[in-house]
């Protein structure tokens, strides 16, 4: 077969790669681009964070306990939830706004992960950290993007089009009817990145999972099959997560008498 053994990287190899960043930072200083500091901090962060998660995963793979897998999964969801909340220009006040995004992410990424682990990958045991954690991670990362794009679009459009929404209510439309166009538009905003990624996969870019597996020595067609699986899971997770979040955020902007309540939104800044 055309599979090969993975070539291991030494610290020296990484140092050679880091030299490129040092060169870039030097250019930035010479040209006064004001990028050097941020670039260095980001590079250090990525090194430290990835090393830490590497140690965590090594330990997690060794203990092989479902409780720890679940625990790490929940921590990842909470961090992603904070990120979604932070990315909103106008967010729903109080715990409800945070809960909608985080809850949608939790439900969609956990359900899709468990579905894939038990019915598709069928590792032994199915919750094996080697499969569960990377899968959950890639799902969360993408779902997080979809949900934050979708809800951000929803709240912005409601803010801009409040007069039109209220006019529709005045003509006797219900909440869901008055919101229909805005919800459609918000769903589109959340899903466009993954739809584009699927459409361009293999033509314009080699997606990450496949690249990783090829570098790790997998046979091309095995890598492709995994990539297709991952794409489908991401699309489903992002789609269902964004749907839940967009739907529920829309509901939060109305009260029990179906009045538009933009006073429930916190302003920019």
Partner 1 sequence: MTPAPLLRVQGLCFLDWGPIDLDLDAAEVVAVSGSSGSGKSLLLRAIADLDPHRGTLELEGKGSEAFLPPAWRRRVGLVPAASEWWHDTVGSHFVDADAQWLEALGFSLEAMRWPVSRLSNGERQRLSLLRTLSVQPRVLLLDEPTASLDPDSVERVEQLVDAYRREHGAGVVWVSHDAAQRQRVASRSYVMSDRGLVAEVN
Applying CB under 8 A, the residues found at the interface with partner 1 are 161, 163-164, 166-174, 181, 255, 257-261
DSSP code per residue over 163-211: HHHHHHHHTT--HHHHHHHHHHHHHHHHHHHHHHHHHHBTTTB--HHHH
* CB of 259 vs partner 1, minimal distance in Å: 6
Q: What is the token pair recorded at 263? A: 């006073």
Instruction: Spell out the alpha helix ranges (H) of the chain.
Output: 11-30, 36-63, 66-86, 94-115, 129-160, 162-170, 175-200, 208-215, 220-252
Judged by beta carbon, residue 124 or residue 256, the one nearer partner 1 is 256
* CB of 92 vs partner 1, minimal distance in Å: 17
Judged by beta carbon, residue 176 or residue 268, the one nearer partner 1 is 176
* CB of 171 vs partner 1, minimal distance in Å: 6
Find where tokens 């956990």 sit. 110
Judged by beta carbon, residue 45 or residue 259, the one nearer partner 1 is 259
Q: For the chain, how long is the longest CA-to-CA vector?
A: 70
* CB of 127 vs partner 1, minimal distance in Å: 47
Judged by beta carbon, residue 160 or residue 205, the one nearer partner 1 is 160
Measured distance between the N- and C-terminal CA atoms of the chain, rounded to whole angstroms:
56
* CB of 249 vs partner 1, minimal distance in Å: 20
Judged by beta carbon, residue 69 or residue 265, the one nearer partner 1 is 265
């Amino acid at each position: 077969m055309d599979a090969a053994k993975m070539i291991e990287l030494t610290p020296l190899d990484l140092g050679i790669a880091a030299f490129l960043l040092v060169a870039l930072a030097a250019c930035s200083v010479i040209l006064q681009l004001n990028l050097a500091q941020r670039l260095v901090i980001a590079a250090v962060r990525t090194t430290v964070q990835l090393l830490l998660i590497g140690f965590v995963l090594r330990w997690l793979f060794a203990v092989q306990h479902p409780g720890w897998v679940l625990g790490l999964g929940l921590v990842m969801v909470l961090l992603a939830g904070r990120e979604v909340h932070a990315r909103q220009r106008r967010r729903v006040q109080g715990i409800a706004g945070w809960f909608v995004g985080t809850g949608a992410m939790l439900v969609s990424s956990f359900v899709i992960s468990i579905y894939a682990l038990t019915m598709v990958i069928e590792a032994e045991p199915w919750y094996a950290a080697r499969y569960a954690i990377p899968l959950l991670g890639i799902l969360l990362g993408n779902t997080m993007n979809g949900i934050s794009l979708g809800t951000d679009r929803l709240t912005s459009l409601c803010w801009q089009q409040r007069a039109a929404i209220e006019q529709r209510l005045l003509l006797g439309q219900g909440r869901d009817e008055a919101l229909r166009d805005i919800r459609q538009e918000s769903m589109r905003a959340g899903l466009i990145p993954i739809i584009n990624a699927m459409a361009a996969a293999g033509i314009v870019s080699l997606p990450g999972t496949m690249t990783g597996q090829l570098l790790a020595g997998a046979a091309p067609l095995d890598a492709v099959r995994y990539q297709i699986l991952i794409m489908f899971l991401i699309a489903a997770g992002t789609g269902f997560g964004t749907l839940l979040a967009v739907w529920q955020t829309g509901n939060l902007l109305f009260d029990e008498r179906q009045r538009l309540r933009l006073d429930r939104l916190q302003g920019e800044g």
